[in-house]
Amino acid sequence: MAEKAIEVTDLTIAYRDKPVLWDVDMDVPSGTLMAIVGPNGAGKTTLIKSILGLVKPAAGQVLVLGKPYNEQRHLVGYVPQRGSVDWDFPTSVLDVVMMGRYGALGWLKRPGPSERAAALEALEKLGIRHLAERQISQLSGGQQQRVFLARALVQDAQLYVMDEPFQGVDATTERAIVTLLQELRSAGKTVVVVHHDLQTVPEYFDWVTMLNVRRIASGPVQEVFTEQNLRLTYGGKVAFLSAAGNGKSENL
Amino acid sequence: MDIAQLFHDLVFDYTLRTVAIGAAILGLVSGMLGSFAVLRKQSLLGDAISHAALPGIVLAFLITRDREPVVLMFGALIAGWLATLFMLAVTRTTHIKNDTALGLVLSVFFGFGLMLLTFTQRLPDATQAGLDKFLFGQAATLLQRDVVTMGVIGMVVLGLLVIFWKEFKLVTFDPEFAASLGFPVRALDVLLTTLLVIAIVIGLQTVGVVLMSAMIVAPAAAARQWTDRLGIMILLGGLIGSLAGVGGTLISSSAERLPTGPVIVLVVSVLVLFSMLFATNRGLIWNWIRSRQNSRKLRARAVLADLNTLALQHPDQEHGHSVAVLRAMSPNPDGVSHALQQLSERGHAREVSHEVWALTEEGRSQASQNIKDEKE
């Protein structure tokens, strides 16, 4: 765990004059499964987009595996929010998964048999190989999410960044995703996940960052996922929180 | 005029041949690029660009005093491109939304163009005559060298589509993911939009600024009905566009005083209508037939399940049950007779006596199979 997968220092991001992230520091040690939690508008998505160089910071810096993102992008896999694309786009599941290899292919080269094989293997891992030739508009929400995860898997990365992979998926898919995340961690990968369901944080993740424009807390779940930090993160909505924040954290 | 004569003219009549080839090229290029525009939710961008080209055409004439199509096209290209950049700048830097920016750019540029056009027509010399033809297009003014220019530009556009196929597909489907992979999304966006502007400019002389957007949107809309593959959709869009181009040219040449541009647009509209109704993939009629078949299948399945329930409640499984009971059990009593007919065709049920039905051996095993499937 000596190496840091992500190192965010003094990160400030603003849309026009409204700060979305304010002076955020966050370290993600290699080989951890980290959840990023916080209320709507807390800047969770903005934080991971800035890790991926998709949003330019007003101040501060982000290092990925010790270097700026644009030197390390071949080591990073990205799972955007499922709702960020048009699923009526005329293409097949296999085609979408192969897009994960486009970065490694670079310009001009077309995906060939080895990309196809990698895509099929990833689909197999997510249990949807039989959907390979399916048109993407015919997928359920859970299947769409698995397709996006398969696309990230073929990126064959060291660090995976996922934006709400559990959003609106069925229980079976949720189990499948959790299993996948744990497999990735066992293989020595680092995974950072924007997460919404506070109840499952202690069960699914070992590290957590709690965010509400400012960073409230960041560290191992059993140390920082406390009721007090939850209260700080979510403000007035304490009633909802004391129910959600129980479990291990309350005893600490 | 008979069809054979029409095809004879298509091959041997210089003007008709030139116009037909020109219309085919314009249809091909606009159909293909239009497909990308539609998938990128930029259908209306084509409309704004083509209208915005008008001041460019008139200004190019005013500056050069030359009516050479290539010169005017160049003016149109620059104006169309400026309009696009202006639009992007407005949406990025102000709170004005995309659709408002489109409307704004379209009306401002087109209004300015009309003003320039009126001003130019009052000029004393007669060289400006014919500029107003760019409003609705005039295919007959196409010369062979114009068609050659269109062909060359068309080839370049198609070549770029082939070269950057993978990248264009990626930025169209998921621009954010493309950016995370390190592709210059902004530059690819500008390139693709520039190709769209070129596709529009190619067609202005034939179809005109007012109707050109139909050649961008319609072939794509028609092609989308037939396929779920991007590559096939783009090819089909091009094919439908050129089919409309050639078809419209032939129809307008077969009658006096039929303007080519509007007829081409009418033909492509008919192709869209036909595709929406009859396409095997998404067409309304096939969908209707499919959903009817499905509901019949489901109804038969429900009646089979009902019969099975009744049979299980009875010691003698061969015992028949009256249709009236099945009707009472069904949410759709009118469909019960037809469903029973289907079941008996499949050998799953038989009529033991008048209006009294029982499951067969096969019917019983099918019913229990269905129950198992539903549990999974």
Q: What percent of chain A has pLDDT over 70?
A: 92
Q: Which of A50, A64, A85 to mutate to test the interface with B (most CBs of B within 10 A)?
A: A85
Chain B within 8 Å of A106 (Cβ-Cβ)? no
Spatial strand order in the sheet of B321-322: B321-322, B356-359, B349-353
Phi/psi for B342 (5° steps) reads -60, -45
Instruction: Give A112: exposed, middle or buried? Use CB within 10 Å, 0-12, 13-18, 19+.
Output: exposed
Of A73, A84, A90, Cβ closest to residue B181: A73
Q: Which of A54, A74, A109, A147 to mutate to test the interface with B (most CBs of B within 10 A)?
A: A54
Q: What amino acid is encoded at A117 in this protein?
A: A
CB atoms within 10 A of CB B124: 5
Of B180, B224, B227, Cβ closest to residue A78: B180
ipTM of the complex: 0.87
Rounded Cα gap, residues B15 and B24, in angstroms = 14
- How many residues would you count in chain B? 376
Residue B214 contacts residue B190 (beta carbons within 8 Å): no
pLDDT (0 to 100) of residue A251: 35
Q: Is the pLDDT of residue A151 over 90?
A: yes
Higher pLDDT, A40 or B283: A40
pLDDT (0 to 100) of residue B317: 66
Query: What's the DSSP call for residue B209?
Result: T
pLDDT band at A244 (very low <50, low <70, confident <90, very high): very low
CB contact (8 A) between residue A99 and residue B229? no
pTM of the predicted structure, to 2 decimals: 0.82
pLDDT (0 to 100) of residue A54: 87
Chain A within 8 Å of B173 (Cβ-Cβ)? yes
pLDDT (0 to 100) of residue B127: 61
Q: What percent of chain A has pLDDT over 90?
A: 17
pLDDT digits 0-9 by tens, A175-220: 889 999 999 989 989 999 998 888 888 888 898 988 888 888 888 8
Count Cβ neighbours within 10 Å for each residue of B247-258 and write b for 16 or more, e otherwise: bbbbbbbeeeee
Q: What does the mean pLDDT of chain A come to?
A: 84
Write out the E strands in A16-58: 18-29, 33-37
Q: How far is B175 from chain A (nearest CA, A)?
A: 9
Helices of type H across chain B: 3-12, 14-39, 43-64, 69-93, 98-121, 144-163, 165-173, 175-180, 185-207, 212-226, 230-253, 260-278, 284-312, 323-329, 336-345, 361-375
Chain A within 8 Å of B186 (Cβ-Cβ)? no
Residue B248 contacts residue B219 (beta carbons within 8 Å): no
pLDDT (0 to 100) of residue A249: 40
Task: Please identify every stretch of chain B with a pLDDT value under 50, giving residue numbers as ranges.
Answer: none
Query: What's the DSSP call for residue A74?
Result: G
pLDDT band at A238 (very low <50, low <70, confident <90, very high): very low
Count Cβ neighbours within 10 Å for each residue of A26-64 and write b for 16 or more, e otherwise: bbbbbbbbbbbbbeeebbbbbbbbbbbbbbebeebebbb
CB contact (8 A) between residue A91 and residue B174? no
pLDDT (0 to 100) of residue A150: 92
pLDDT digits 0-9 by tens, B165-215: 999 999 999 999 999 998 998 899 889 988 998 888 888 888 888 888 889
Of B174, B181, B227, Cβ closest to residue A85: B174
If residue B358 lies in a helix (H) or strand (E), which one and from where to where? Answer: strand B356-359
The average pLDDT across A47-65 equals 87
Q: Is the pLDDT of residue A1 over 50?
A: no
Q: Is the pLDDT of residue A252 over 50?
A: no
Cα distance from N-terminal residue to C-terminal residue, chain B: 65
Higher pLDDT, B5 or A115: A115
